[in-house]
Amino acid sequence: MEAKLKIIEFYGAPSPNVVKIHLLLRELREVPYSYHEINIRRGEQYSPDFLMINPNGKLPAVVDHDVEGEPISVFESGNILYYLANKYDKLIPNIKTDPKSHTEVLNWVFWQMSNLGPVLGELIHVCCLVKDRQYIASKDQFTIADIATYPWARYVSILPDISVEEFPHLYRWLALVKSRPSVAEWEEFEEEQKKNNNNTNNNNNNQHHQQQQQQQSSSQNKSHTEAEERKSLIHAQRSVPIPISNNLPTPNNNLSPPISNQT
């Protein structure tokens, strides 16, 4: 019997930080994984089962079953990037053979975690970085630093002060990352998820509308029935005759007057 394949379980919802892990897992092509979308509107991130994975109730999070002993839960997007890249020795230089480059990648991963997410204006630093090299932390090597930055940097078009003409190197880097198969696969996945969510929302709206119609129809039928019952009761009360008894006692002429014993 074939042994059950150990996988990475990936929990997420639509957000730039979750996109990082989508891209990473698509870059790590030999790593099997399953994706579980958490409905944050319903508060599923606070369910007891998910809080066992991440007590903070935040996304993304992964559970690694490909370990000896108990599965390992990993949360915070930067930590997940490092954990998986380091485990599979991809997208980050090996710390033993190239500690300087390894550390440079982490410098920019944690820079993104601390700065670029909260303040998109920090993209100016990316503009300077990619002026003299292809990628964020390397002249010619795509790393988790690029994965960490891209999901946020792709919103550059909403910033009027960062134009293609003024910052061509930034847009060149964005185009370079966007051309990777992992990004194309994720974009296709995202579109499919949107369609599924729209269909689900439409079905829910239709069901809600049908329930409202059924409730209104039921309420109208109930009101009509109650009105008919009241009419029938009033009609019945008016139609009931006053009862006249035919069993009244008749006089008995054979009775004798009482005899008095008094003197």
Ordered DSSP codes for 213-232: HHHHHHHHHHHHHHHHHHHH
Q: How confident is the model at residue 256 (pLDDT cuts 50, 70, 90)?
A: very low
Q: How confident is the model at residue 209 (pLDDT cuts 50, 70, 90)?
A: low
36-41-43 Cα angle (round to 5): 75
Most confident range, picked from 77-81, 168-172, 209-213: 77-81
- What does the pLDDT read at residue 159? 77
| % of the chain residues with pLDDT over 90 | 59
Q: How confident is the model at residue 197 (pLDDT cuts 50, 70, 90)?
A: confident
- What does the pLDDT read at residue 108? 95
Cβ neighbours of residue 169 closer than 8 Å, sequence gap 6 or more: 127, 130, 131
pTM of the complete model: 0.75
Q: How far apart are CA 77 and CA 113, in angstroms?
A: 8
Q: How confident is the model at residue 18 (pLDDT cuts 50, 70, 90)?
A: very high
pLDDT at 24 over 90: yes
Task: Indicate the average pLDDT of the chain.
Answer: 84
- What does the pLDDT read at residue 77? 98
pLDDT at 148 over 60: yes
Domain parsing of the chain, residue ranges: 8-185
CB 8 within 8 A of CB 19: no
- What does the pLDDT read at residue 220? 66
Residue 141, φ and ψ in degrees, nearest 5: -120, 125
CB 86 within 8 A of CB 144: no
CATH topology assigned to domain 8-185: Glutaredoxin (3.40.30)
